[in-house]
Amino acid sequence: MNCLKWIGLGIVILFGVLMLIFLFRKNDSFFNIRQTIKEHLCLFKNCKIQYIIFYIFPLFFAVGLSLIYQASQSLYSGVSVILGIILSMLLGILSILAGQDFASVQDENQKQRAKMVVKETINSIVFNSMLCILLLLYSLIMSEVASQEINFVLNCVLSSIFYYIFIVILFTLFLIVKHMSRLIEFNLKVKKDKDN
């Protein structure tokens, strides 16, 4: 890499770290990433094994995958398109959830449970959207880095980070789909009870 690219990479890393520091500030009223992550991790408070399934197993999977295949420039470009589609889908689901109304539900316990599922789903969507944006930025940087000759170990580490975040996005997407299916079943049940 020539000198200008090294300077550019240094600027990107420096200001990327500064952005992360400011985004993760405690009690940020505008966009509290720390609170979003905390609430997302609380989804698994009753089943600790889910932490391992959602966050530890993907780490080992990503490391193994990076040893088999280091991410290339074409992979970063292809996944960027996929992430754009996932992000638009997540925002579409978010707009559907914004219109949820449980005023017609008579049972207070069911109403509170449905509201809780909506809140958890919205939080998962926000969490997954943040990961998509992070991975899009990472792909943007890595598509240039991958075009250069870099050390095998460094390439494995960078590929592992990419694979790990992508796998967590997919697992969280499964969680969102599961929550949406529960809400659809609940809405169908409420409609059926209302018709009877």
pLDDT in tens, 81-117: 999 999 999 999 988 888 877 777 777 888 888 888 8
Tell me how many domains the chain contains: 1
Residue segments in the chain with a per-residue pLDDT below the cut of 50: none
Within a domain: residue 21?
A: no
pLDDT at 1: 57
pLDDT in tens, 165-177: 999 999 999 999 9
How far is it, in rounded angstroms, from Cα 179 to Cα 118? 8
Within a domain: residue 22?
A: no
Tell me the residue type at 158: L
How far is it, in rounded angstroms, from Cα 91 to Cα 126? 9
Number of Cβ within a 10 Å radius of residue 58: 21
pLDDT at 66: 92
The range of the structural domain enclosing residue 158 comes to 47-195
pLDDT at 30: 67
Within a domain: residue 9?
A: no
Within a domain: residue 136?
A: yes
Length of the chain: 196
Contact 95, 182 (CB under 8 A): no
Q: What is the pTM of this model?
A: 0.85
Radius of gyration of the chain (CA): 20
Picking from 49, 77, 194, 47, the residue whose alpha carbon sits closest to that of residue 147 is 77
pLDDT at 186: 83
